[in-house]
Amino acid sequence: MSGGLVDAYDMVVFDLDGVVYLIDRPIPGAAEAIERLRGDGVPVAYATNNASRRAADVAALLTGMGVPATADEVLTSAGAAAALLAQRLEPGSPVLVVGADALRAEVRDAGLTPVETFEDKPAAVVQGYGPDVGWRILAEAALSVRAGATWVATNADRTLPSPRGPLPGNGSLVAVLRTALDRDPDIVVGKPEPALFTTAARLSGAKHPLTVGDRLDTDIEGATKAGTDSLLVLTGVSGPADLLAAEPERRPTYVAADLSGLFAPAGDSSIPAAETTSLGGWQVTVSDGAVTLDGAGRPVDALRLLCPHTWAGATAKAASPEARDVFSEWGL
- Convert 128-145 to b/e letters by CB count within 10 Å (16 or more is b): bbbeebeeebbebbbbbb
Rounded CA gap, 293 and 322, in Å?
9
User: In whole angstroms, what is the distance from residue 131 CA to residue 275 CA?
Assistant: 48
In the set 17, 157, 219, 268, the catalytic residue is 17
Q: What is the pLDDT of residues 106-157, one digit of tens each?
A: 999 999 999 999 999 999 999 999 999 999 999 999 999 999 999 999 999 9
Q: Which helix (H) or strand (E) holds 103?
A: helix 101-109
Residue 84 has pLDDT above 70, yes or no: yes
Residue 17 among the catalytic residues: yes
pLDDT of 173 strictly over 70: yes
Which of the four pLDDT bands, split at 50, 70 and 90, describes residue 2? low
Q: Is the pLDDT of residue 331 over 90?
A: yes
Could you tell me the CA-to-CA distances from 146 to 151, 154, 238 in Å, in that order?
10, 19, 35
Query: Residue by residue, what is the 3-state secondary structure of 157-174?
Result: CCEECCCCCCEECHHHHH
CA-based nearest residue to 232, from 274, 96, 111, 224 = 224
Q: What is the pLDDT of residue 179?
A: 98
Q: According to the model, what pLDDT value does residue 165 have?
A: 87
pLDDT at residue 49, rounded to an integer: 93
The catalytic residue among 7, 15, 132, 186 is 15
Taking alpha carbons only, the member of 101, 193, 176, 111 closest to residue 138 is 176
Q: In this predicted model, what pLDDT tens digit does every residue of 207-251 receive, in sequence order? A: 999 999 999 999 999 999 999 999 999 999 999 999 999 999 999
Residues 6+ apart with CB under 8 A from 4: 262, 263, 264, 265, 266
| Whether the predicted pLDDT of 203 surpasses 50 | yes
Mean pLDDT rounded to a whole number for the chain: 95
- Residue 57 known to be catalytic: no
At residue 310, φ and ψ (nearest 5 deg) are -70, -30
